[in-house]
Amino acid sequence: MPVTIYPAPHGANALTQTTFAKTARQLLPYSENEQVKNDHIIQSTFKKLDGKNLSSINNGFVDSAVSAYNQHYNLIIRPEDVWFSILTQFNFNVNANSEKLRSTFVAHEGQKELIIDDLSDIKSRDGSGVFGVDWGKFSFKMTKMIAQNIKDPSLREWILPTFTTTTKDDQTVASIIMMATLKNFFSYGCGIACGIPSVTLLGEQSDWEQILTKVERLSTFGKEPTQWLELLRPVLKRFVSNFDAPNSDEAKDFWQKIAHRSGGGSGPSYLSGWITAFCFWNTKGKAYYDPKYNPPAEGDTMHTMGSDTPVLVLDGARYHRIETDEVPSGWASVPVKLIDDLVITETVMVAGSLGYEASSSGKDLHKKPGETALDTLAPVTGWFMYETKSQDEIAAEKTAAKEAELKRHEDRMREIKENYKVDW
Over residues 89-134, the pLDDT tens digits come to 999 999 999 999 999 999 999 999 999 988 888 988 776 666 688 9
Q: What is the pLDDT of residue 264?
A: 45
% the chain with pLDDT above 90: 64
Residue 113 exposure: Cα atoms within 13 Å on the Cβ side: 8
For residues 203-218, average pLDDT: 98
Residue 35 has pLDDT above 70, yes or no: no
Q: 3-class SS at 93?
A: helix
pTM given for the model: 0.85
Contacts of 192 (CB under 8 A, 6+ apart): 119, 131, 338, 339, 340, 341
pLDDT band at 36 (very low <50, low <70, confident <90, very high): low
CB 269 within 8 A of CB 263: yes
**Alpha-carbon span 419 to 421, nearest angstrom:** 6
**Alpha-carbon span 212 to 1, nearest angstrom:** 18
Q: What is the pLDDT of residue 424?
A: 46
Q: Are strands 310-314 and 301-304 parallel, antiparallel or unpaired?
A: antiparallel
Contacts of 63 (CB under 8 A, 6+ apart): 57, 327, 330, 356
Residue 71 exposure: Cα atoms within 13 Å on the Cβ side: 18
Of 49-63, 72-86, 167-181, 198-212, give the lowest mean pLDDT range. Answer: 49-63
Residue 242 has pLDDT above 70, yes or no: yes
Q: Report pLDDT digits (tens) over 41-93.
A: 888 988 888 789 999 999 999 999 999 999 999 999 999 999 999 999 999 99
CB 138 within 8 A of CB 190: yes
For residues 196-210, average pLDDT: 97
Q: What is the pLDDT of residue 413?
A: 77
**Alpha-carbon span 165 to 211, nearest angstrom:** 13
**Alpha-carbon span 185 to 112, nearest angstrom:** 6
Q: What is the pLDDT of residue 341?
A: 65
CB 389 within 8 A of CB 345: yes
> Terminus-to-terminus CA distance in the chain, angstroms?
93
Q: What are phi and psi of 58, to 5 degrees?
A: -65, -35
- Secondary element (H or E) of residue 227: helix 223-242
Q: Report pLDDT digits (tens) over 264-276.
A: 444 458 888 999 9
